[in-house]
């Protein structure tokens, strides 16, 4: 490896270790808390599931990175195929669970008198569960498209031009539709949540000013903390998606591919750290753990 690849390797390993530690910390803390209290809140369930999916995503990205840097033989092909499927599944759940967390913050914190909003707020757990189950169907559809691609690829070598052409068209159309549903749809939903939270905060501050009260009340601080979490998710996810698109077009250009994978890995690692710092319980336990480590 040259100097640039060594630098990328070091950064990738730091992100991998940081991300796994952060997500594992979230998972363990919420699991222990659940066993103690015999119950777990909706927010903790979503964050725990998100942490588990992000651990899987980090491992899939590491396998992808490893196959590009070190291996070029049959083992490399097997690792690439396995990491591709693992990435597709974990990427999907990471994206949609992050979006569901954004929706959870919106409905729990924002104040609107709209009847539909209030109805969805009352049925929030069921609404989020339905969204999760419906979005999960896209994973099976995506894996179906992957299989169609494999069949089309085999037909090329078998000389079956008609089958190749039809399957290729189906795979291309399926890819475009699924990419939009899996990536663009949750991005739009998260962006909508951000805009509605900003509107709700502005409305709340206007009411506080009208009644002559200060702006640093509990509701304002909750709005700000939720916005920090949701906006950071949106920005990191946008960066990650851009890296995925660029790396997909740069498979033959190893330096660009590795740079995109390394930059994209900051999304599952960095946002989990932001979640810990924005959650009072997780933050206090982390600081307590770090103090004990110093002693």
Sorted by where each begins, the domain ranges of the chain are 3-294
CATH ID of 3-294, from 3.40.630.10, 1.20.1070.10, 3.40.190.10, 1.20.190.20: 1.20.1070.10
pLDDT value at 70 more than 70: no
- Say how many C-beta atoms besides its own lie within 10 A of residue 18's C-beta: 17
Q: Give the C-alpha separation, 263 to 270, whole Å.
A: 11
Give the model's confidence band at 105: pLDDT under 50 very low, under 70 low, under 90 confident, else very high: very high
Window from 77-81, 221-225, 246-250 with minimum mean pLDDT: 77-81
Query: What is the predicted pLDDT for the residue at 249?
Result: 72
Mean pLDDT of 3-15: 84
Nearest-5° angle of CA 116, CA 188, CA 65? 140
Query: What is the predicted pLDDT for the residue at 243?
Result: 85
Query: What is the predicted pLDDT for the residue at 79?
Result: 65
Query: What is the predicted pLDDT for the residue at 46?
Result: 93
Query: What is the predicted pLDDT for the residue at 150?
Result: 59
The rounded mean pLDDT for the chain is 81
Query: What is the predicted pLDDT for the residue at 50?
Result: 95
pLDDT value at 241 more than 90: no
Nearest-5° angle of CA 179, CA 180, CA 186? 105
- The helix (run of H) or strand (run of E) holding residue 273 is helix 266-278
Mean pLDDT of 69-97: 74
Give the model's confidence band at 86: pLDDT under 50 very low, under 70 low, under 90 confident, else very high: confident
Nearest-5° angle of CA 38, CA 39, CA 40? 140
pLDDT value at 54 more than 90: yes
Query: What is the predicted pLDDT for the residue at 204?
Result: 77
Indicate the Cα dihedral angle 149, 151, 153, 157, nearest 10°.
Answer: -170
Query: What is the predicted pLDDT for the residue at 165?
Result: 58
Q: Which residue has the higher pLDDT, 281 or 178?
A: 281
Give the model's confidence band at 210: pLDDT under 50 very low, under 70 low, under 90 confident, else very high: low
Find the helix packing angle between 266-278 and 3-37, rounded to 10°: 40
Q: Is residue 120 classed exposed, middle or buried when 0-12, 13-18 and 19+ CB atoms within 10 A define those classes?
A: middle
Q: Give the C-alpha separation, 196 to 231, whole Å.
A: 12
Q: Give the C-alpha separation, 142 to 165, whole Å.
A: 19
Going 259 to 262 to 266 to 267, the CA torsion angle's sign is: positive
pLDDT value at 47 more than 60: yes
Q: Give the C-alpha separation, 225 to 281, whole Å.
A: 14
- Residue 229: alpha-carbon gap to chain centroid: 13
Q: Give the C-alpha separation, 83 to 276, whole Å.
A: 28
Nearest-5° angle of CA 185, CA 200, CA 214? 150
Window from 65-69, 101-105, 195-199, 282-286 with minimum mean pLDDT: 65-69
| 126-154 tens-digit pLDDT | 999 999 998 888 777 777 766 665 555 55
pLDDT value at 257 more than 90: no
Window from 43-57, 79-93, 222-236 with minimum mean pLDDT: 79-93
Task: Pick the closest to residue 198 from 125, 119, 289, 105 (CA basis).
Answer: 105
Mean pLDDT of 154-167: 54
- Which tokens belong to 290? 């770090």
């Amino acid at each position: 490896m040259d100097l640039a690849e060594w630098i990328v390797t070091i950064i990738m390993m730091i992100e991998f270790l940081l991300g796994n530690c952060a997500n594992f910390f979230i998972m363990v803390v919420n699991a222990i808390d659940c066993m103690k209290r015999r119950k777990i809140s909706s927010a903790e369930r979503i964050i725990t599931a998100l942490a588990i999916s992000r651990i899987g995503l980090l491992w899939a990205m590491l396998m992808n990175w490893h196959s590009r840097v070190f291996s070029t033989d049959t083992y490399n092909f097997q690792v690439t195929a396995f990491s591709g499927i693992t990435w597709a599944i974990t990427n999907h759940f990471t994206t949609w669970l992050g979006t569901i967390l954004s929706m959870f913050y919106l409905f729990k914190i924002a104040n609107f008198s709209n009847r539909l909003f209030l109805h969805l707020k009352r049925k929030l757990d069921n609404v989020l569960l339905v969204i999760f189950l419906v979005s999960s169907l896209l994973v099976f559809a995506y894996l179906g498209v992957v299989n169609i691609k494999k069949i089309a690829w085999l037909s090329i070598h078998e000389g079956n031009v008609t089958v190749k052409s039809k399957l290729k068209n189906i795979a291309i159309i399926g890819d475009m539709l699924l990419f939009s549903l899996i990536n663009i749809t949750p991005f739009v939903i998260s962006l909508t949540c951000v805009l509605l939270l900003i509107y709700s905060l502005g409305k709340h501050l206007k009411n506080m000013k009208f009644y002559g009260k200060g702006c640093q009340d509990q509701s304002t601080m909750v709005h700000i903390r939720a916005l920090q979490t949701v906006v950071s998710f949106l920005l990191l996810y946008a960066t990650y998606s851009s890296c995925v698109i660029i790396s997909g077009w740069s498979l033959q250009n190893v330096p660009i591919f590795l740079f995109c994978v390394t930059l994209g890995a900051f999304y599952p690692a960095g946002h989990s750290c932001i979640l810990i710092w924005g959650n009072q319980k997780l933050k206090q336990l982390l600081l307590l753990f770090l103090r004990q480590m110093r002693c």
